[in-house]
Amino acid sequence: MSVTEQPAPAADGEPSAGGDPSDDAAQAHLRDRISADSLTTRRDYLRIVATVSGGLAIGGIGVAAGILHRHGDSDTAPESKKVTDRLAPGESVAFRFPGDEDRALAVRLQDGTLVGYSAVCTHLACAVLWREDRGPAGELYCPCHEGVFDARTGEVTAGPPPRPLPRIFLTEEVDGSVWAIATARSGEPAREALCRQFGESRPEVAARLGCPGADRANESRRT
């Protein structure tokens, strides 16, 4: 037989011409194993994808429905908390406020402006970071789904987040220490947020802010 005259391949289940039947049986068994392994792999992959997709869907529904905890939900003023002894321009610090489970971020912009926000993305609650090298004021960035927020206002500038970051009100003492004193709900005006939290517990502060009914509340407390 010449080199170009090769025997025709055997049909499935038949021994090849001149071959050992035991070799053909071993090859058939190997093909069955490969097919079974491939099927198992595909099934496992589909199961993993379904599980992850279901988890993301449930998380998205929870955020959209307001089930997950959000900063600023309380109508009472939180206890003031020291954030750091000093915060220089171009620096940021992570802390917890108003509760021990509430991630927050304080940033000193290059022009000296002091800002604070919830560090929980309003999309799917991933952690938010400050990137100093993005523009004059930097940007607040969620790496999970490329969400971007304005560092001066907390407003959404790119990506899927549906709402601005809740604001945290900061104050700086004469010794340079930075304190967190109150929060705002996502998109809530500053005066409205402060009046909501200080109207009952700190009527003197509410009166200075010109909050509705603050003068009457302050006068009743004096009497």
CB 170 within 8 A of CB 84: no
CB atoms < 10 A from the CB of 21, how many? 10
Q: What value does the mean pLDDT of the chain take?
A: 75
Is 0.85 topped by the overall pTM? no
Assign 168 to helix, strand or coil: strand
State the average pLDDT over residues 105-113: 95
pLDDT of residue 56: 36
Q: What pairing do the DSSP bridges indicate for beta strands 103-108 and 114-118?
A: antiparallel
Residue 212 pLDDT class (50, 70, 90 cuts)? confident
Cα 53 to chain centroid distance, Å, stands at 17
What are φ and ψ of residue 218, in 5° steps? -70, -40
Q: What type of residue sits at position 125? A: A
DSSP secondary structure string for all residues of 72-100: T--SSPPPPEEEES---TTEEEEEE-SST
CB 9 within 8 A of CB 27: no
State the average pLDDT over residues 102-115: 95
Write the CB contacts of 53 (distance below 8 Å, at least 6 apart in sequence): none
Cα separation, 220 vs 77, whole angstroms: 20
pLDDT above 50 for 60? no
Cα separation, 164 vs 157, whole angstroms: 9
pLDDT above 80 for 220? no
